[in-house]
Structure 1
Amino acid sequence: MSSDFRPAIDDAPLPQKSGLKAVIESDIISHERLPMFEVVCERMVRTFATSMRNLTSDAIDVHLEDVTSTRFGEFMNRLSDPAILGVFRVREWENYGVVTVDSGLIYAVVDALLGGRRGNGAPRSEGRAPTTIETGLISKMVQIALTDFAASFEAIEPITIEIDRVETSPRFAAIARPSNIAAVATFRVDMEGRGGRFSIVLPYATIEPVRDKLLQRFMGEKLGRDRIWELHMASELLQTEIIMDVVLGEQHMRLRDVMNLQIGETIGVNRGPDDALEVHCSGVPLGRAFIGQRTNNIAVKIMTDISKGFAK
């Protein structure tokens, strides 16, 4: 009696990735949060809602749905079809970003701008590519969004954003390698029963020049600086009284000779009446001056710029 035992295929252990391949192909994104980027996006919600109301004359609600980090290739692969992608360039950073608009928001904005009825719900997507007219109308909205984003970013650092091109296929909007990490801010726009989402995608290579500022946890109107105290300290410093010394001369002497000085003795210094004297403050040389007399008082005339320090 023979028994032929073969293990089931389902029971066979799956090969596990290890080493560098496991790190590269890992689905888990572990990257530092950017608190100030979230603050910028929150500011943009208010300004963009106002801009969209002026554009469409509809009641607009804008919400920040999520700020996250993901691989650039994975995000682009998740885009629904059709979609419009605006590739923009940040002049100061010399790098690019992408704005993606989903089909729901495309048809809602086009319907609103062309006089569609309100409250009919989001138009159904036909699965076709946007027309030239639709692309032109959405390009106007993308420009407004980027202008408001640049204005919101001004609290971190002034930037200038320029639209490079508008694409309808993710393949032509590739501005980074698929494995590169990107910061993604997703916004929800509701327009009286219709609407959709758009996202701003910034690869980490793009925001590298301001990464340290985006890592800050707190920000007032001036990145954590208290303007009231700053002005108060500046005004008080300008009113601070200091003592300045005019050094008539210096003479090196032994302690024994100093202790043997008598009343009436003269200590010679190597200074003439027309020689410039050194002006000190707490032992720190500030500049040079000439000694003279003014209204029966001894006076000195500053001959060098104190703000530039003392140069011999």
Structure 2
Amino acid sequence: MSTEEEDLAAAWGASLEGEGDEEAAPGGADSTRVLNQAEIDSLLGFDGEETAEAKSAIEQIISSGLVSYERLPMLEIVFDRLVRLMSTTLRNFTSDNVEVSIDAITSLRFGDYLNSIPLPAMLAVTKVHEWDNYGLMVVDSAMIYSVVDVLLGGRRGTAAMRIEGRPYTTIERTLVERLIGVVLRDVSTAFEPLCPVEFQFERLEVNPRFAAISRLSNACILVKLRVEMEDRGGRMDLLLPYATLEPVRELLLQQFMGEKFGRDSIWENHLADELRHTEVALDVVLDEQPLPLSTVVNLKPGDRITLNVGPGAPVRLRCGEVPLFEAVLGRRENRLAVRIERELKRLGLEEEVA
């Protein structure tokens, strides 16, 4: 038993003795002691820190179903590039000192994220035509009012006015759409070194149920971006389902830009040079004809096999079982020779063989 548990047991014993004394005393009032959360956790055997061993089997199975973003190393490079681009473009967009940073990059279920969005917020659905799928960008309330305040000439040093409990006006939605358009262009530019892609703004929603772009159980990558404009700012979330990133999954698996997955150009050139100097045997095929096995078994020295080709008929040059050329048989000095007439195309190989 640990020291904390011994102290806790001693305290409980002292309180029980005090209760017994009060009940024994005439006119003593009933006392009830309420345990706090730390005492309850200690009593139930929880130490307040959840470890991998403490997780149940079901929790481990569910968590293992999520693909960690760390398995896609190139994503971090893309998002770092996005932060640098956004810092520059938002400074030009707001004419203010803007600092953009990444709060977290996590993998989670789409349904879990929808349920955790702090409302009110604006949810922008974006279409990625090259990947034939969708993404989601969420702008929280603090960022919305900060952008409206900055773009409409709000004075520095004053917090943005927030009026809770009312829908967003047309002006606020228009200004936020402009902000989202600027950020989506930066997202497209951040992915450009990997592949040309364009994130297009499709619609703006305020209800998370109307911004469902994937099944609730599908895994997604969530990037939480914090935008600070001196005493104002807020947060923007970029959500990309794994189904959206699937067309460029091989590119995102790279450790660095331009990785060729183990290919070595030096060894490729060396292997190509050695293959060019390799000797191969070419067979000149005069004729091919099927014979019964009984005929082949009964063949004796002196027997003749009649070829079904006439004099001057074209012959074939073959390497193993692969026909390569068609040639004409002739004689050069005292040796038989062939003159190549044409190359047999690989696409029409079956027709040529037939």
Report the TM-score, using the length of structure 1 for normalisation.
0.67
* CA distance in 1: counterparts of 2:262 and 2:327, whole angstroms: 42
Partner of 2:135, secondary structure, is strand
Contact map agreement 1:290 1:300 (CA 8 A) in 2:
yes
Alpha-carbon distance, 1:66 to partner: 1.1
**Residue equivalent to 2:104:** 66
Partner of 1:69, secondary structure, is strand
Q: Does 1:50 align with 2:88?
A: yes
**Greater Cα shift, 96-105 or 160-169:** 160-169
- Residue deviations 1:98-147 (CA, integer Å, cap 9, x gap): 210112222333333334445x3652433243321221122122123233
**Residue equivalent to 2:20:** none
Q: Which one of the candidate residues 313, 322, 344 is aligned to 1:304? A: 344
Alpha-carbon distance, 1:286 to partner: 4.1
Q: Does 1:197 align with 2:232?
A: no
Q: Which one of the candidate residues 222, 226, 237 is aligned to 1:184? A: 222
Q: Which one of the candidate residues 144, 157, 165 is aligned to 1:106? A: 144
Map 1:1-312; keep pairs closer than 5 Å.
Answer: 29-30=63-64, 31-34=66-69, 35-36=71-72, 37-117=75-155, 120=157, 123-127=160-164, 128-153=166-191, 159-176=197-214, 178=216, 180-204=218-242, 206-207=243-244, 209-210=246-247, 213=250, 216=253, 218-222=254-258, 224-225=260-261, 229-230=264-265, 233=268, 237=272, 240-241=276-277, 245=282, 247=284, 249=286, 272=310, 274-281=312-319, 283-291=320-328, 299-306=339-346, 311-312=352-353
Residue correspondences, number = 282
* CA distance in 1: counterparts of 2:80 and 2:163, whole angstroms: 33
Contact map agreement 2:222 2:238 (CA 8 A) in 1:
yes
Alpha-carbon distance, 1:25 to partner: 10
The percent identity for this pair of structures is: 33
Partner of 1:111, secondary structure, is helix
* CA distance in 1: counterparts of 2:88 and 2:266, whole angstroms: 33
**Structure of higher RCO (CA pairs closer than 8 Å, 6+ residues apart):** 1
Partner of 1:207, secondary structure, is helix
Q: 1:61 to 1:9 in 2, by over 3 A?
A: closer
* CA distance in 2: counterparts of 1:245 and 1:234, whole angstroms: 25
Q: 1:304 to 1:176 in 2, by over 3 A?
A: closer
Alpha-carbon distance, 1:166 to partner: 0.4
Contact map agreement 1:86 1:98 (CA 8 A) in 2:
yes
Which of these two proteins has the greater Rg computed from alpha carbons? 2
Partner of 2:90, secondary structure, is helix
Q: CA RMSD in A?
A: 4.6
**Greater Cα shift, 218-227 or 98-107:** 218-227
* CA distance in 2: counterparts of 1:155 and 1:60, whole angstroms: 25
Alpha-carbon distance, 1:85 to partner: 0.9
* CA distance in 1: counterparts of 2:218 and 2:261, whole angstroms: 34
Alpha-carbon distance, 1:235 to partner: 9.8
Alpha-carbon distance, 1:198 to partner: 0.6
Partner of 1:288, secondary structure, is strand
| 2:344 partner amino acid | T
Contact map agreement 2:325 2:340 (CA 8 A) in 1:
no
Q: 1:286 to 1:96 in 2, by over 3 A?
A: same
Q: 1:154 to 1:116 in 2, by over 3 A?
A: same
| 1:288 partner amino acid | F
Alpha-carbon distance, 1:68 to partner: 1.3
The structure with more helix, counted as a fraction of residues: 2
* CA distance in 2: counterparts of 1:95 and 1:306, whole angstroms: 39
Partner of 2:222, secondary structure, is strand
Q: Which runs of 5+ in 1 are unaligned?
A: 1-7, 15-21, 262-266
Alpha-carbon distance, 1:170 to partner: 2.6
Contact map agreement 1:244 1:279 (CA 8 A) in 2:
no
Contact map agreement 1:106 1:138 (CA 8 A) in 2:
yes
- Residue deviations 1:32-82 (CA, integer Å, cap 9, x gap): 213324443233223333333343344433222211133434433433343
Report the TM-score, using the length of structure 2 for normalisation.
0.60
